[in-house]
């Protein structure tokens, strides 16, 4: 029996959704793709869920550096609620702050060209790493 499952981490933005994945137990999160945040988002996520044997989605909940809710927090939670209604998979909310900034600094330090989508998918890696560190010991 194959007990390996996949977790998707998502970084929800108004334009793009960064997606990372990791197998567990024992996997290392890695960028997977970037999706456009549009009417077809739930369908695209459903395809990724099926293709990758996904058992859980971890969605980053943005907070200010002081831990307070922001306008993006409310928007993100609205998207998550919509996805919960349209997908038959558990979506866990992972607090996150400044993952996009951290990702941009990391990519800039590599001294290679990168896109906004690269920032988004690396942000999703950080969200997934935090979840796995805190919950999958």
Say if residues 123 and 78 touch (Cβ distance below 8 Å).
no
Nearest CA to 18 out of 114, 87, 134 is that of 114
pLDDT, average across residues 5-13: 94
0.85 surpassed by pTM? yes
Radius of gyration over every alpha carbon of the chain, rounded to an integer in angstroms: 14
Kindly tell me if the per-residue pLDDT of 84 is higher than 80.
yes
pLDDT-derived band at 75 (thresholds 50, 70, 90) equals very high
Q: Which residues does residue 96 pair with via DSSP β-bridges, in sequence order?
A: 62
34-39: average pLDDT: 96
- Domains located in the chain, CATH noted: 5-135 (3.30.420.140)
DSSP letter at 3? Answer: -
Q: Is the pLDDT of residue 64 over 90?
A: no
Q: Which residue has the higher pLDDT, 14 or 27?
A: 14
The residue-averaged pLDDT of 85-112 equals 92
Q: How far, in Å, CA of 20 to CA of 34, rounded?
A: 9
Q: How confident is the model at residue 99 (pLDDT cuts 50, 70, 90)?
A: confident
CA–chain centroid gap for 115, Å, is 17
| Strand ranges (E), 29-126 | 30-36, 54-62, 91-96
């Amino acid at each position: 029996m194959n007990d390996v499952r996949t977790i998707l981490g998502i970084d929800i933005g108004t334009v793009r959704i960064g997606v990372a994945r990791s197998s567990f137990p024992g996997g290392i999160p890695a960028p997977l793709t970037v999706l456009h945040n549009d009417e077809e988002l739930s369908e695209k996520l459903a395809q990724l869920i099926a293709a990758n044997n996904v058992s859980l989605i971890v969605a980053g909940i943005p907070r200010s550096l002081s831990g307070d809710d922001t306008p993006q927090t409310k928007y993100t939670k609205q998207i998550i609620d919509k996805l919960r209604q349209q997908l038959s998979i558990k979506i866990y909310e992972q607090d996150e702050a400044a993952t996009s900034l951290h990702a941009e600094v990391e990519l800039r330090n590599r001294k290679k060209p990168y896109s906004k989508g690269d920032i988004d998918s690396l942000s999703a890696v950080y969200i997934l790493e935090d979840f796995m560190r805190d919950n999958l010991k």
